[in-house]
Structure 1
């Protein structure tokens, strides 16, 4: 049984003030799911990658409990009379229950078995079945852990693609009881107990995310009126191209349209512009986009021609430092220095952001991140009180590895923990022998010395999967791939 004090710690970020600043666009059905209980059970969300802890009775939380007798009621974000739902500006949008709704059918869930052979060491989520929404590519894992008195549940949001010749990514959800063996869905979710596809690209021609979407971070927001609301920060790609005299300079572009084949695992073609976006949900499955100040609905725009982030903004990882201090870590490609680099923005409400500039670039003397750093995951270390960052380092030949850095305040003064990568591509026959990228850190609440590192691995002919490594003892500098033994 977990520590009671840990369960009752709540840091509340004002959800109402956020809606004052933002506008709801394209509201999707949100799920509100009451169920009978004589004594509310409590699940605590340990939001690795943020400093936000939330604890709510089950009837107020997002993910549904495992019960066959629950009735789910679809709800919808309502808007002010006379306002089109695409541009709603309601300060306190009501969540109205549809009294005529019926229980939704569960979609078929495809179990995924973590493999333990030498060539698949560390792999916990492989590609989905052929013709499924994630059968051609998966990546961008965002992993959250929920702990109750009698069980623990894990949720992973990730991007997937169904066709290797199609550049459009979608976002889906997988579930697990231990963070190792995952259940997934081959189709779009139908109820709040499903796994599967949960979010598609926007169909609005003017939007920033019409081409592809990838999750970056999920934060729990709360208020007395709305209980728990999931906020998903994601990267959206449009059809606008990033024009470069030599496209191969990016080596591993954020999203490319297949063109001339450079080698068996990498293609060089058109690079599409990306910007950060935000969507909200009450169950983690049915999402409504929140429109930012940019004309495309994005939260931030790229910098001017001479600024380091003038090409694109990708992988917005958000950390809640305090009630009115949210921090966004993102990356772009600095053309002047010829490197990927990380930048920082801050916000009081999670929607309006102010850039603070570049905080970390490539290391010229390094063997694994000479071409720069990207895809940062930042966690406030509950044991040390400082901030730990896992990031993807890109070497001079374009191969990706994972490194660690630390900062006392999470703002600047980031220092690499070691010169060598923490996780590097596996040996010749490994499933992730071509590169490891997009790290996501989870600090285990009941064992603060233990960490898990989820990541994307790329292997033969560009085949992707999601892997996991675990810290060795209390040494956060050293991780080993999960190999099927007891954790």
Structure 2
């Protein structure tokens, strides 16, 4: 890594084990309390250069499949206030039995047209557990624009959600809209990529901690894809048979929050506010940067996995960038491309989700594979160091594909994987795989599949609790 390029932030502490107590809003970080649609501020990145602390290691408390250096900020889950759920749309037991855990919002809710891109975090306390899911959604009132919302759960199965924008730290619902700054990279849509909880000595002196949200921002700038490009905007679930689809440029962004609900954008080095730009002409990622998934490897070593479309190979591909402070990034290149002829991911790989395997310390990547026919399935790859040598598992076959029932809620494709390692303290651990499913007519939902113990080669859709 070029030390001259990166201005190191004094050691960042990452806390991924306990749900932090509600925090007082600060005039610097938190936007005004929204009435309907969340308002967001933009903050210049030098604010973060004042953070400093040395993390301690508590491996026994990690809960998200990542062997992180963490600091224990709380011994239990504090009450964040009562969430405000809304009634779910009627979901048949047959749909639930095939894995659906979150359907489209009802009525005039902010997510009644499309949902996807789940980012799921599990937090443990002394006597309870709490789950948070950030995801994107679209409504009939604004069908061309995606926003980010939050749902909560006590078991990762039954979720509480909101109709509109959040108002308090106990609310659920829409938490982030596209930017209203005309020059911004995220004026059209915002989609979550990863959420981490970080703190610093300075912030902690005020009993504060912050959520860091890495997200994909879309602008109205249209991209020119090859004439035979058979897909619509790569992040959107519904494919388009048109040979001239409207595809918009995307770049990675960062926002911070004290409660996971009210977000303030952090301006990156790019003139649009993005963390960094797409590649130069001729480079594999010259079209766009999408789905930033950030993993904390160690002190001064954060890694971002993202995807783009390589025009030379005609396939989606996944690349990696590294950072010392989570804001300034150096791209290292492509690490995974399309599969071989006839493979489920022949047209490429996208939407990576990388976690640290607590059993062996290696890295696991769930990704969305694109077939020659445009169908989406989920594949898995592993690496010993998370940088190179990524190897597909399951003999290069998908670990989860669309259901075989014609009327199934995810019969058209599955993607946007999010892995959660359920550590039972022994060899008999299990992985949960949250994913976006697409059914007839492009209807979307969020589902759950389970591994057979620690085996990553095959996942079965959740079929209910077994007593």
- What residue number does 1:163 align with? 140
Residue 476 of structure 1: how far off its partner (Å): 2.0
> Is 2:28 aligned against 1:28?
no
Alignment partner of 1:342 is 2:341:
no
The CA deviation at 1:27 is 5.2
Q: Report the equivalent of 2:451.
A: 471
CA drift at 1:249: 1.1
- Aligned residue for 1:235? 216
The residue that corresponds to 1:51 in the other structure is 68
1:13 is matched with 12
Q: Kindly provide the CA deviation profile for residues 256-280 of structure 1, in whole angstroms up to 9, marking residues without a partner as x.
A: 7999x63xxx896210000000000
In the other structure, the counterpart of 1:383 is: 359
Q: In the alignment, which residue of structure 1 is the partner of 2:268?
A: 292
Alpha-carbon RMSD across the aligned residues, in angstroms, is 2.9
Note the 1:21-420 alignment, pairs <5 A.
Answer: 28-29=31-32, 46-48=63-65, 51=68, 53-57=70-74, 65=79, 109-110=86-87, 116-117=93-94, 121-163=98-140, 166-227=143-204, 228-246=209-227, 248-254=228-234, 262=241, 269-418=245-394, 419-420=396-397
TM-score, length-scaled by structure 2:
0.82
Contact 1:457 1:465 in 2 (8 A): yes
Paired residue for 2:465? 485
How much has 1:48 moved relative to structure 2? 4.5
Q: 2 CA distance for matches of 1:149 and 1:256? A: 39
Q: Which runs of 5+ in 2 are unaligned?
A: 1-10, 15-26, 35-59
**CA contact under 8 A between 1:48 and 1:144: conserved in structure 2?**
no
- Residue 292 of structure 1 contacts residue 352 of structure 1 at CA under 8 Å; is this kept in 2? yes
Per-residue Cα deviation, 1:10-68 (whole angstroms, up to 9, x for no partner): xx6159xxxxxxxx99952489xxxxxxxxxxx96734467354532279x8xx61557
Residue of structure 2 equivalent to 1:87? none
Aligned residues of 2:96 and 2:463 also touching (Cα < 8 A): no
Runs of 5+ in structure 1 lacking a partner?
A: 1-11, 16-23, 32-42, 69-105
Alignment coverage as a number of residue pairs: 413
1:440 aligned partner: 418
- Distance (Å, rounded) in 2 between the aligned partners of 1:273 and 1:469: 31
- TM-score scaled to structure 1, two decimals? 0.79
* Aligned equivalents of 1:474, 1:50: Cα separation in 2: 16
The Cα shift of 1:225 comes to: 2.5
Question: What's the offset of the Cα at 1:345?
Answer: 0.2
Which of the numbers 452, 459, 469 marks the counterpart of 2:439? 459
* DSSP-derived class of the 2:202 partner: coil
Aligned counterparts of 1:408 and 1:423: Cα–Cα separation in 2: 23
The structural deviation recorded for 1:381 is: 0.3
Given the superposition, is the C-alpha separation of residues 112 and 477 from structure 1 closer, same or farther in structure 2, using an over 3 Å criterion?
A: farther
| d(CA) in 1 for partners of 2:393, 2:175 | 37
Quickly say closer, same or farther: Cα 1:484–1:343, change in 2 above 3 A: same
Task: Quote the Cα distance in structure 2 between the aligned partners of 1:485 and 1:66.
Answer: 27
Q: Check the 8 A contact 2:193/2:215 in 1, yes or no.
A: yes
Instruction: Tell me the distance in 1 between the aligned counterparts of 2:161 and 2:65.
Output: 22
